[in-house]
Amino acid sequence: MREEIFCMNRKILLYIFCFLITCSLFSCENYKDCNSPVQTSLGIGFFQMVNGTSRDSTLPALTMYGIGRADSLLADSASYSSIYLPLNQNVDTTAFFIQPNSPSAIGDTITIKYKRSLQFVSSGCGFTTFFNIDTVYSTYHFIDSLSLTTKNIVTSNAINIQIYY
């Protein structure tokens, strides 16, 4: 009788062991490389009004940095027709200083207010932050006007703000 109980317990343990092994094999996920874009950036395009028509323009020399950030030089005396800037993922406001490299030009400050939304991309990629722009403020020394074209930032290759000078 003791032997039968021992044999039965052994069978139960064997079944439990097989069940756990099977569960662990099916619960494993195949981690692949991240093929999805996870970085989101604010796209700014530079434009000029010519005879009432908006035209893409290239600034011959531009310096730009983030306000309130150490070592945040984003552009240094380079030519740009558009630039993609990182927004702060920890607060709902980011400000940038933009200065054309000309002796007579005064720089401007651009302030962007937005809402953040953390999005799960995949187990291989992790999370990313999407942004929804509420308001854009600017000083108007060098900048003539600006236009918010796309409020949602879910990628790194779209122009969200058009700056006219």
Q: What does the domain layout of the chain look like in residue ranges?
A: 42-164
pLDDT of the chain, 165 residues: tens digit per residue: 556 655 666 677 677 766 767 656 666 555 556 776 678 899 999 998 888 777 778 877 888 888 887 677 787 777 888 889 989 989 999 999 988 877 677 889 999 999 999 988 887 788 889 999 999 999 998 888 999 999 999 888 889 999 998
Cβ(69)–Cβ(99) below 8 Å:
no
Handedness of CA 111, 117, 122, 124 (dihedral sign): positive
Q: What pLDDT, on a 0 to 100 scale, did the predictor assign at position 30? A: 56
Q: What pLDDT, on a 0 to 100 scale, did the predictor assign at position 42? A: 93
Q: What pLDDT, on a 0 to 100 scale, did the predictor assign at position 57? A: 82
Residues in contact with 159: Cβ distance below 8 Å, sequence separation at least 6, in sequence order: 43, 44, 45, 82, 149, 150
Q: What pLDDT, on a 0 to 100 scale, did the predictor assign at position 109? A: 94
Q: What pLDDT, on a 0 to 100 scale, did the predictor assign at position 91? A: 93
Pinpoint the alpha helices (H) of the chain.
Answer: 2-27
- Give the predicted TM-score (pTM) of the model: 0.73
The separation between the first and the last C-alpha atoms of the chain, rounded to the nearest angstrom, is 95
Q: What pLDDT, on a 0 to 100 scale, did the predictor assign at position 146? A: 92
